[in-house]
Amino acid sequence: MDLLHKFLNIVLLPITLTVLLLFMPPFLFLKFIWSLKRSIYRENVAAKVILITGASSGIGEYVAYEYAKRGARLALVARREDRLQAVADKARKLGSPEVVVVRADVSKVEECKQFVDEIVNYFGRLDHLVNNAGVAQIRLFEVFTQFSDIASVMDINFWGSVYSTHYAVPHLRKSKGKIVVIASTAAWLGTPGLSFYNASKAALISFFETLRTEFGQDIGITIVTPGIIESEMIQGFYQKEMTQGEFFSEVGFKKSILLII
Helices and strands of the chain, counted as H and E runs = 9, 6
Whole-angstrom distance, CA of residue 157 vs CA of residue 106: 9
Contact at 8 Å (CB) between 160 and 204? no
Residue 52's contacts (CB-CB under 8 Å, 6 or more residues apart) are: 60, 63, 64, 67, 74, 75, 76, 77, 130, 132
Contact at 8 Å (CB) between 92 and 68? yes
Q: What is the per-residue DSSP string for 77-98? A: EES-HHHHHHHHHHHHHHT-S-
Catalytic, 238? Answer no
Contact at 8 Å (CB) between 148 and 193? no
Whole-angstrom distance, CA of residue 27 vs CA of residue 193: 40
Determine which one of 122, 167, 197, 238 is catalytic.
197
Contact at 8 Å (CB) between 40 and 65? no
178-182 vs 128-131, strand pairing mode: parallel
Contact at 8 Å (CB) between 237 and 193? no
Catalytic residues: 197
